[in-house]
Amino acid sequence: MGKNIETDRLILRAWRDDDAADLYKYACDPAVGPPAGWDPHTSVDYSLEVIHSFFSGPEVYAVVLKETGEAIGCCGITYSDRFTGSDEPEVGYWIGRPYWGQGLIPEAVKAILNRGFVDLSLPALWCGHYRHNHKSQRVCEKCGFPYHHTIGKFDTGKEDDMDELVYCLTADAHLDAMTAASLKD
């Protein structure tokens, strides 16, 4: 697992077994998972299985609110061939509905971008969202991801296959934007 990452309001850390109840609390909401392509969680035990499988990657982090110590979402880097046909690093994220609109996931994603580009020396990071997921689109925009292409009717394995918009941010573009922002300050 990567190191813990702190931002102003968040701690990004490895998922733990005792996060299963928090995970279930937010991931059982049908407004959270389906827009990202996954079904709502059905039990705390299922959430624990997700922690042991999908959330066990070395760069997959629980998004923990410093104020409460509660895991309220997920953010991280995984590798996928979904966007380019080769194994490329992809940023993924979600957050519980009570925390929507507070800028917490852009804060977490920006920390993950620094992790990927500065600590891991990745040349580029990919990100995608289904066409109807405007909240994820805003996260991509706020974090500086430029649009790259659209995958038509991405196969979700369900009847409601949909277009996925794909973004790619290079390390050079990210570091240039960080330099420009620091010069403004």
Contact 162, 154 (CB under 8 A): yes
Beta bridge pairs of residue 129: 165
For residues 135-152, average pLDDT = 93
What is the Cα–Cα distance from 20 to 27, expressed in whole angstroms? 10
pLDDT at 158 over 70: no
pLDDT value at residue 70: 97
What is the separation, in whole angstroms, between the first and last Cα of the chain?
Answer: 33
Q: Which two tokens stand for residue 78?
A: 């995984």
- At residue 169, what is the residue type? L
Q: Which two tokens stand for residue 90?
A: 């992809």
Write the pLDDT tens digit of every residue in 112-124: 999 999 999 999 9
**Strand ranges inside the chain, DSSP E:** 5-6, 10-13, 60-65, 71-80, 88-95, 124-130, 147-154, 162-170
pLDDT value at residue 177: 85
pLDDT at 65 over 80: yes
Using CA atoms, how far residue 121 sits from 90, 139, 140, in Å, is 14, 22, 20
Which residue is it, tokens 């697992």? 1
**pTM exceeds 0.75 for this model:** yes
